[in-house]
Chains A and B, each alone.
Chain A
Amino acid sequence: MDTRDTPEQAELRRAARQLARELGPATVADLDDGARAKRLTGAVHDAGWLELRQDGGGGPVASGVESAIVADALGGAVADVAFTGPALAADLSRRAGCGATDSAVVGFAPNLIDPAVVPGRVAATPIYAVDAAEHVDVASVLVPTGPDYRLAQVQLDGPAEGADLTRVIRRIPAGASLADVHDQRRLLTHDDVAHWSALGLALTSADLVGLMRGVLDITVPYASERRQFGVPIGSFQAVQHLLAEARCLMEGSLSAALYASWAVDELAPDEACAAGRVAKAYCARAARTVCETAVQVHGGIGNTWECMVHVYLRRAVLSSQWFGDDGEQLLQIQRTRLGVDTPAAPSSGRPPGPAAPSSGRPPGPASG
Chain B
Amino acid sequence: MDYRDSPAEAEFRARLRTWLADHDPGLPTSSTDDDYWAQQAEWHTALYDAGFFGLSWPGRYGGHDLPPVFDVILDQELAAAGAPPRPSLGYLVQGITTHGSDDIKDRFLPGLISGRERWCQGFSEPDAGSDLASLRTTASHDGDDYVINGHKIWTSYSDVADWCFLLARTDPDVPKHKGISAFAVPMHQPGIEQRPLRMINGITTEFGQVLFDGARVASENMIGAPGEGWRVAMTIVSHEREPGELGFVARYAKTVDDVEKEVRADPTTFRPDQLDEVAWAFVQAEMLRLHVCRRLSERLDGIQHGPGGSVDKLLMTWVEQTVGAAALAVSGPRAALDTEDVPLKVYLYSRAQSVMGGTSQVQKNIVASRVLGLPAP
Contact = CB atoms under 8 A, between A and B. Distances in A.
B296 to A, nearest CB: 9
Contact of A4 (B6, B73, B298): B298
A212 B69 CA distance: 27
Given A1-B4, A334-B275, A235 B376 contact: yes
Interface stretch (A27-35, A138-146, A255-263): A255-263
B318 A364 contact: yes
A330 B274 CA distance: 11
B1 interface: yes
B279 to A, nearest CB: 4
Contacts of A73: none
B315 interface: yes
A281 B283 contact: yes
A256 B287 contact: yes
B286 interface: yes
A65 B1 contact: yes
A220 B373 contact: yes
Main secondary structure of the interface of A (DSSP, over half): helix
Interface string B50-63: 00000000000000
Contacts of A333: 279, 282-283
B72 A1 contact: yes
Contact of A338 (B279, B293, B297, B322): B279
B332 interface: no
A256 B286 contact: yes
Interface residues of A, number: 57
Contacts of B315: 248, 251-252
A263 B312 CA distance: 23
B284 A4 contact: no
A359 to B, nearest CB: 6
B348 to A, nearest CB: 14
Given A236-B377, A338-B278, A339-B267, A259 B290 contact: yes
Nearest to A236: B377
Interface stretch (A41-49, A123-131, A238-246): A238-246
Interface in A145-199: none
A365 B369 CA distance: 22
A252 B298 contact: no
B144 interface: no
Contacts of A243: 368, 372, 374
A4 B300 contact: yes
Interface string A196-234: 000000000000000000000000100110000001101
Contact of A368 (B263, B354, B373): B354
A258 B275 contact: no
Contacts of B322: 365
A60 B264 CA distance: 38
B1 A2 contact: yes
A368 B321 contact: yes
A5 B291 CA distance: 15
Nearest to A63: B1
A18 interface: no
B107 interface: no
B108 interface: no
Contact of A363 (B3, B284, B364): B284
Contact of B364 (A240, A331, A334, A339): A240
Contacts of B72: 1
A282 interface: yes
Contacts of B367: 244, 247-248
Given A245-B364, A247-B367, A334-B279, A367 B373 contact: no
B173 interface: no
Contacts of A251: 291, 311-312, 315
B264 A339 contact: yes
Contact of A278 (B287, B361, B369, B372): B287
Contact of B293 (A1, A245, A281): A1
Contact of A258 (B9, B294, B325): B294
A334 B274 CA distance: 11
23 contacts: A1-B3, A1-B6, A2-B2, A2-B69, A9-B1, A240-B365, A241-B361, A244-B364, A244-B368, A245-B314, A248-B367, A258-B1, A278-B286, A281-B283, A282-B283, A334-B267, A334-B276, A337-B282, A338-B264, A338-B278, A338-B279, A365-B325, A368-B353
Considering the complex of A and B, which 8 residue pairs feature the smallest CB-CB distances, nearest first?
A: A240-B368, A244-B367, A255-B291, A244-B364, A234-B374, A333-B279, A3-B297, A330-B279
Interface of B: 1-6, 9, 69, 72-73, 260, 263-264, 267-268, 273, 275-276, 278-280, 282-284, 286-288, 290-291, 293-294, 297-298, 300-301, 311-312, 314-315, 317-318, 321-322, 325, 353-354, 360-361, 363-365, 367-369, 371-377
